[in-house]
Amino acid sequence: MQGHTIEDRLRHADAEVRRLAVIDLPYSDEVDDIAPLLTAALGDDSAVVRLEAAKALEGFEEPEVLTALVPLLKDSDEAVREAVAYTLAELKDVASSSALLPYLSDTDPWVQASAMHAVKALRAPAAMAPALAALQSPHAQVRREAVGVIAYLKQMQTIGALTQMAVHDEDADVRRAAVGALGFANGSSDVSVQPTLSRALGDSEWQVREEAANTMGKLGLLPGSASLIAAMEDAYWQVRLKAARALGRLKVKEALPALGQALEHPISNLRKEAVIALGELRDARAIPSLERALHDSDPDVRKLAKLALTQLSMPDPILSGAAS
């Protein structure tokens, strides 16, 4: 509005004028410090103004900003609540977690889950106790976000709780999150994760089985190789792909027949992963399968087969290093 400063527009009687002023504020050269004006706009009577203010405050982590922003997780307008949750999820400073901690035990499951989601990447140690308590929540979204908080904090004493969630939680998304969270286990825990992951490879939901295969490969769990080989027969190619990747990383030579069979699968992504795994096995018995793959209909499979055959002709760097 010509002749009006941006602060005039922020006080205008028309909510649409105020909304547009909030949108313009980050680009205005009239005000040096816009945070107080955006924070004040969070208290506007109009939801559309509060919405734009919540969006514009992404990246601001001053305590006074968070003090005004976090309570809007309970705003009467759904769009405002979601914008606040999104902005809070972008926080980077662990000191910002202090504003979120009281909401980790909120009675509203959406608020609680949103606060958990926001605090997760901040890795705030004070979030551990409420996250562990939230594993008992009747709401799956809360339990899932709590698992995320625990995973980011990477405290080995929580492995037992995560193995229980991975196997026994009634919600597949929670089980999947817990299986993935077990990826930070490094063998120093009192609870072995390998039986849990092997059991998860038999989960009723393929996404959980896929995550189990991925985590097993990430951890290098050779004792679980038999269940990974069995997973090469899974009804879902996505599970087979992660199993093939894990078997290659683990150099499980007993998987050679299953990986060779995977080269006949109609999904080229699985064939690519099987070719890579066959090369990683460093076993000459894989040569016939790889030579067949040189004639695959997918050019990427053919190229990877050629690389794998070259790889087989070279000494294994791990074995060479051990010999020297």
DSSP per position, 255-317: GHHHHHHHTT-S-HHHHHHHHHHHHHHT-GGGHHHHHHHTT-SSHHHHHHHHHHHHHHTSPPH
Q: Is a pLDDT exceeding 90 seen at residue 315?
A: no
Tell me what pLDDT residue 160 has: 92
Confidence of residue 317 (pLDDT cuts 50, 70, 90): low
Q: What are phi and psi of 171, to 5 degrees?
A: -100, 130
pLDDT greater than 90 at residue 224: no
Question: Cβ neighbours of residue 42 under 8 Å, at least 6 residues apart?
Answer: 50, 53, 54, 57, 68, 69, 72
Cα angle, residue 205 at apex, residues 229 and 145 outer, rounded to 5°: 115
Give residue 3's pLDDT. Answer: 52
d(CA 64, CA 84): 15
Name the pTM for this structure. Answer: 0.88
Determine the pLDDT at residue 151. 95
How would residue 324 be classed by pLDDT, with cut points 50, 70 and 90?
very low
Quick one: pLDDT band at residue 316, thresholds 50, 70, 90? low
Find the range with the poorest average confidence among 12-16, 172-176, 213-217, 312-316: 312-316
Predicted pLDDT at 319:
47
Q: At 133, is the pLDDT very low, low, confident or very high (cuts 50, 70, 90)?
A: very high
Instruction: Judge whether 179 and 195 are in contact, CB under 8 Å.
Output: no
Average pLDDT over residues 111-118: 97
Q: Which fold has domain 252-324?
A: Leucine-rich Repeat Variant (1.25.10)
pLDDT at 4: 81
pLDDT value of position 15: 97
Domain ranges across the chain: 1-85, 252-324
Q: Is pLDDT at 262 greater than 50 in this prediction?
A: yes
Q: How confident is the model at residue 124 (pLDDT cuts 50, 70, 90)?
A: very high
What percent of the chain has pLDDT above 90? Answer: 86
What average pLDDT does range 200-215 have in this prediction? 97
277 falls in which pLDDT band (50, 70, 90)?
Answer: very high
